[in-house]
Structure 1
């Protein structure tokens, strides 16, 4: 993605505040409705996970939120490895995270059979609706990274942390796990610089299409 292909939109501070209020109100309403709608998933998926790969049902991990504040993310477990400690990842990059870095692999042998299905259709992310409801995440925003990666950000990459991380984002409708870190940063920065309530709605609608297709998620 070439950043020159997008025209940055300068936003009025008053408009930004109104959008932030609408965004938070929408997050509360949308996450509450979706949690209620997903009650069958919260009943069925834990049973399938236990039958397929035992316990625990949930995977929790520290992630970096807005302005480098850390919070605990919750997902349905998709990996054979049950160690919830994100510190197993060690990176020592100087000058920022390399553009060609890819965190996930479609050939990850640690993913359980049921986990592959959950990841393909993003069902493992459903518990993060509680993160949205409690305010550590938003329905739309850059996907949250682990602190071991964000600690290596350069000043430009760190700009993606100016907003709350999201359940879905602009990068997720432009390749999801198929794009590298550099491409993801470009999409995330474009979102940060052009965010609006209307833009969020467009991303959410596009996300439905990508999730149903199960494209680009590992």
Structure 2
């Protein structure tokens, strides 16, 4: 059975998330089996690497146990910790960093517990054994979880593994919420209908297929009747605090969850904290800062990493340079003015992927074929200015490798907003210009979320989100996602 509500013509499955036949239980079971397998193999390898295949090697210390017993105990403790940290919680699977953070937390907890037990019992557990097992096992778990996430993404792109949701709230905010859910299918929600204020309806064409199931007063009963799994409250403009609370009461005992979307959007979790005042949960949002210790740490990490990558890639870069020189006349590198942090211009480097007269032909091409819905950023899928070698370089983003030199110079970062052209900046308003409060990046959220396939508005939204919410951990995740996007050649032309 399928229901409407998909994107790009894909219909969404009506399969339930919870219950004995729900997809969540099946997926959790698979994850559990995967965790057990990875942890077991890791502990066996750690034991073999440190003690050979002798299962009776003793632990140093008074009344020390055999290491096979320690190996089994740590493996069991590790699997239990993966459950205690809720790393297999269906609500965090498939999107966001929480699943990976909890996997790492489970590993650190195991290490801490073993260290405490060793201290209390005076058992001298081999440090080499632990330092081999815990980091290697954590890395292996992260790799396996990333592979499982790719499976979830593929399923959700096809309309599977979704939770059935009814959106409740004011017409405008409900419409905005539905659009975001549809754009973010991999977050795992499928809108099966909406409840709006009495007499209201969606007037936009892209929301014409959303069933209006009732008014705000009927929301709880509507959710029960249509077997929704969550009610998403998109705003309280049309509902008082009392009515919102009563909606939560009405859902008690039904198995239907309540999700409340705050009015503040595009703010990352680390910037938000909550404090209750007379039963009213208040969200405290930290004002974004654009200087300080984390910025110095980012700059140091950028330059060290860029230097290392340039050393490793020196010979491949020479080969690429030779291919460019042999297949088309002109220089190896393409230098172009881009706008950096605080709107300062700099010369960005790329391997040349176009013919030397590309800029002269640009005006005619802009008039002939503009990207649909994009009056600022010019992109063409079959750009006749691109050379044969350039198409390969662009598909796998090899043409962007020389930007590592820009990172060493301090003009760019490894991760950041897309570096804009001056003509683009001249069309910006003050809101968009905020993206230049940080250094532009070789990669970024725009790179791993569609690259050239993104609309102008979506590209700007992602860049602004990154500018105000970036973190070193988030940068690492973006870099890892970039590797996948580049290898797959998604959205690159």
CA distance in 1, matches of 2:434, 2:412: 16
Q: Secondary structure at the match of 2:354?
A: coil
Aligned counterpart, 1:25: 300
Distance in structure 1 (CA, Å) of the matches to 2:373 and 2:468: 20
Corresponding residue SS for 1:139: strand
Counterpart CA distance in 2 for 1:177 and 1:128 is 18
Question: How far is 1:23 from its partner?
Answer: 0.3
2:313 counterpart of 1:38: yes
Deviations 1:27-86 (A, max 9, x none): 11100001001101221011101121122111101000011100000100011134679x
Matched, 1:186 2:461: yes
* Kept in 2: contact 1:79–1:112 (CA 8 A): yes
Question: Are 1:165 and 2:165 an aligned pair?
Answer: no
Cα displacement (A) at 1:4 = 6.8
The structure-2 alpha-carbon separation of the partners of 1:32 and 1:15, relative to structure 1 and needing over 3 Å to count, comes to same
Q: Which has the larger radius of gyration?
A: 2
Please state if 1:112 is matched with 2:381. Answer: no
Question: Which residues of structure 1 form unaligned runs of 5+?
Answer: 92-97
Moved more, 13-22 or 150-159: 13-22
Report the Cα distance in structure 2 between the residues aligned to 1:142 and 1:21, rounded to whole angstroms.
18
Q: Determine whether 1:103 maps to 2:382.
A: no
Structure 1 residue ranges, 4+ long, deviating more than 2 angstroms after superposition = 1-16, 81-85, 98-102
SS at match of 1:56: coil
Q: Which residue of 1 aligns with 2:356?
A: 81
Q: TM-score, normalised by structure 1?
A: 0.87
For 1:169 and 1:29, the matched residues in 2 are separated by: 19
Structure-2 residue corresponding to 1:133? 408
Aligned-partner SS, 2:326: helix
1:6, distance to aligned residue in structure 2 (A): 3.9
1:175 aligns with 2:450: yes
When the two structures are aligned, how many residues end up with a matched partner?
210
CA RMSD in angstroms, aligned pairs only: 2.6
Q: Deviations over 1:178-197 (max 9, x none)?
A: 11211100000110111111
Contact 2:340 2:436 in 1 (8 A): yes
Structure 2 residues without counterparts, runs of 5 or longer: 1-178, 181-262, 272-284, 367-371
**Is the CA contact (8 Å cut-off) linking 1:60 and 1:84 kept in structure 2?**
no
Contact in 1 for aligned 2:446/2:463 (Cα 8 Å): yes
Query: 2: CA distance between counterparts of 1:214 and 1:14?
Result: 34
For residue 94 of structure 1, what is the aligned residue in structure 2?
A: none
Q: Does 1:203 align with 2:478?
A: yes
Change (3 A) 1:39 1:105: same
